[in-house]
Chain A
Amino acid sequence: MGLGLRTLLVKEVRRFLRVPGQTLASPLVTTTLYFVVFGWSLGSRLADVEGVPYARFIAPGLVALGVVSNAYLNSASSLFVMKLQGTIIDILVAPLSHTEVLTGFVAAAVVRGLLVGGVTWLVAGAFTGIGIAHPLWALVMLVLAAVAFAALGVVTAIWAATFEQVNFFPTFVVTPLTFLGGVFYSVRMLPPGLQRLTMANPVFYLVDGVRYGFLGISDASPLWGLGILAVLAAGSLSLAYALLASGYRLRS
């Protein structure tokens, strides 16, 4: 790794570590609240899902949600703020290739996503036990998910002209698709019509594949999740690269 890329990566990681309350503690509080509500308060009244206590069943989906939303927010907000403040010039005048710029932003976002995912799993572990059925599978799925959403963050930051546009994607696309993608229920609990609808949601395969990695159970073949995430990651990286290379809304 060249010094230019290493510097961009270090700077981006330090940037989010400078505001740990916003970037790491905030998702920690949210996750803890989920487990307090679903683990302690309601957990004893909710039936096991696929033979797994309910609080443990929802944990992998919450980890996935934490990873993708934080990976997206990191690259999107950092690059967008640089555009807004004019500090993007620092990168644009430097002898960094488009691949190095993209790698720097995506890799830092992956680090933040995985940190939040790790913290989420530790919180979940305190309520439901920390064992992971297939750790390597879980890690590969989460890294692929983080890469895909970090690259989408880069795309949004380049395209967006306002903060509202930056927030549109997580608020109106990612969160609804994640909540309706089987984070809180097994698709087998749904009537046939809703089952078909859920299985048309790509985020379902992400949540399902991550759940297979953590708990060893899944509604669909976990290979579907891996394949869909790989395609999504390749597609979003290609789109982000093409935008950087074109200079769209970055170089006049």
Chain B
Amino acid sequence: MNGAVVEIEGLRKRYGAVLALDRVDLEVRQGEIFGLLGPNGAGKTTLISIVAGLSRATEGSARVLGKDVVRDYRFTRRAVGLVPQEINFDPFFSVEEALRFQAGYFGVKLTGDRLEEILSALDLTEKRHTNARALSGGMKRRLLIGKALVHDPQVLFLDEPTAGVDVELRQQLWRYVRRLRERGTTVVLTTHYLEEAEELADRVAVIERGRLVLLEDKGTLMARNAGQRLQDIYVALLQRERAGREAE
């Protein structure tokens, strides 16, 4: 069994009266693709934001490679890459400049070879001198992935990477995610496209209303529910959860 790259213990996050995460415990293992599923607003983005340093937990702890994300933030942030859900870009700079600046923030001087590798892998070589403002939506999303990879992170968080993208780009991203895993990068994928998790994930977790309601090896889960698709299992699980809550 591979060791834990990310360890979440008793994680709670409260925004005023809203409990976004309620005592979540989970581990992400070295080299796996971990599918973090749940409806919109379930707490997926909050969870990865805490690990990446964008948000602070109300209670509990998050560790990356054994180091606390608050106390040892310099170490943990070097180990983490985050592709945010919302597309953003700096209209002042080109694709290459954006990648070089992002590497610099992480204390990494981007070599020519590494730059070429990232540009090529994301099919952005011809756009390297193009201003980010002039890229298509799909290219902007690929640039975000490139920026998350410039410092060669050990764990990559992809927050809804295929939301609103066409089928061709989605399959291109899936291929790239598999290649990353083959190179040893651990990938945490949040999505509410169940076919995406079914296609890619080694293990899946489901969060609903801030609570972890399922954490299981995908193969075991599918075998236990033979003949069903992940989507059917997921919907049935959420219905049971909601019925249970109403009964309480």
- Cβ–Cβ contact A90 & B55, under 8 A: no
**Distance in Å: Cβ of B190 to nearest Cβ of chain A:** 15
Q: A7-B101, A11-B101, A252-B55 are in contact. Are A87 and B77 (CB under 8 A)?
A: no
- Cβ–Cβ contact A90 & B92, under 8 A: no
| Bound complex: CA A10 to CA B93 (Å) | 12
Query: Which residues of A have CB within 8 Å of B105?
Result: 4, 7-8, 90-91, 94-96
Query: Which residues of B have CB within 8 Å of A86?
Result: 84, 86, 88
State which of A8, A19, A93 has its C-beta within 8 Å of the C-beta of B77.
Answer: A93
B54: Cβ under 8 A from any A Cβ: yes
- Cβ–Cβ contact A87 & B80, under 8 A: no
**Distance in Å: Cβ of B129 to nearest Cβ of chain A:** 14
| Bound complex: CA A2 to CA B107 (Å) | 7
| Bound complex: CA A18 to CA B93 (Å) | 9
Query: Which residues of B have CB within 8 Å of A95?
Result: 73-75, 77-78, 105-107
**Distance in Å: Cβ of B73 to nearest Cβ of chain A:** 7
Identity of the chain B residue whose Cβ is nearest the Cβ of A18 in the assembled complex: B92
Q: Which of B77-135 contact A (CB under 8 A)?
A: 77-78, 80, 82, 84, 86, 88-93, 97, 101-102, 104-109
Identity of the chain A residue whose Cβ is nearest the Cβ of B55 in the assembled complex: A252
Identity of the chain A residue whose Cβ is nearest the Cβ of B49 in the assembled complex: A252
| Bound complex: CA A82 to CA B98 (Å) | 14
- Cβ–Cβ contact A87 & B107, under 8 A: no
B147: Cβ under 8 A from any A Cβ: yes
Q: A3-B107, A4-B106, A252-B15 are in contact. Are A15 and B86 (CB under 8 A)?
A: no
Identity of the chain B residue whose Cβ is nearest the Cβ of A86 in the assembled complex: B88
Identity of the chain B residue whose Cβ is nearest the Cβ of A11 in the assembled complex: B101
- Cβ–Cβ contact A89 & B54, under 8 A: yes
Query: Which residues of B have CB within 8 Å of A87?
Result: 88-90
- Cβ–Cβ contact A251 & B106, under 8 A: no
A41: Cβ under 8 A from any B Cβ: no
Query: Which residues of A have CB within 8 Å of B49?
Result: 252
Q: Which of B75, B102, B105, B107 has the most CB of A within 10 A?
A: B105
Query: Which residues of B have CB within 8 Å of A10?
Result: 104
User: Residues of B within 8 Å of A, CB-based: how many?
Assistant: 33
**Distance in Å: Cβ of B81 to nearest Cβ of chain A:** 8
- Cβ–Cβ contact A4 & B56, under 8 A: no
A14: Cβ under 8 A from any B Cβ: yes
**Distance in Å: Cβ of A232 to nearest Cβ of chain B:** 30
Q: Which of A2, A15, A90, A251 has the most CB of B within 10 A?
A: A90
Query: Which residues of B have CB within 8 Å of A2?
Result: 107
Query: Which residues of B have CB within 8 Å of A91?
Result: 105
Query: Which residues of A have CB within 8 Å of B187?
Result: none
**Distance in Å: Cβ of A16 to nearest Cβ of chain B:** 9
A161: Cβ under 8 A from any B Cβ: no
Identity of the chain A residue whose Cβ is nearest the Cβ of B87 in the assembled complex: A86
- Cβ–Cβ contact A251 & B147, under 8 A: no
**Distance in Å: Cβ of B236 to nearest Cβ of chain A:** 32
Query: Which residues of B have CB within 8 Å of A14?
Result: 92-93, 97
Query: Which residues of A have CB within 8 Å of B89?
Result: 85, 87
- Cβ–Cβ contact A93 & B54, under 8 A: yes
Identity of the chain A residue whose Cβ is nearest the Cβ of B148 in the assembled complex: A93
Query: Which residues of B have CB within 8 Å of A3?
Result: 104, 107-109
Identity of the chain B residue whose Cβ is nearest the Cβ of A101 in the assembled complex: B105
**Distance in Å: Cβ of B89 to nearest Cβ of chain A:** 7
Q: Which residues in A have some Cβ–Cβ distance to B below 8 Å?
A: 2-4, 6-8, 10-11, 14-15, 18-19, 82, 85-87, 89-97, 247, 251-252
In the A-B complex, the 9 residue pairs with the closest CB atoms: A7-B104, A86-B88, A94-B105, A95-B74, A95-B77, A252-B55, A3-B107, A11-B101, A87-B88
23 residue pairs bridging A and B, Cβ less than 8 Å apart: A3-B107, A3-B108, A4-B107, A7-B104, A8-B104, A11-B101, A11-B104, A18-B92, A19-B92, A85-B89, A85-B90, A86-B86, A87-B88, A89-B54, A89-B84, A93-B53, A93-B77, A94-B106, A95-B77, A95-B105, A95-B106, A251-B55, A251-B56
Q: Which residues in B have some Cβ–Cβ distance to A below 8 Å?
A: 15, 46, 49, 52-56, 73-75, 77-78, 80, 82, 84, 86, 88-93, 97, 101-102, 104-109, 147
Apart from A85-B91, A252-B46, 15 more pairs, CB < 8 Å: A3-B107, A4-B104, A4-B105, A8-B104, A10-B104, A11-B104, A86-B86, A90-B90, A90-B147, A93-B53, A93-B54, A93-B80, A94-B102, A96-B105, A252-B54
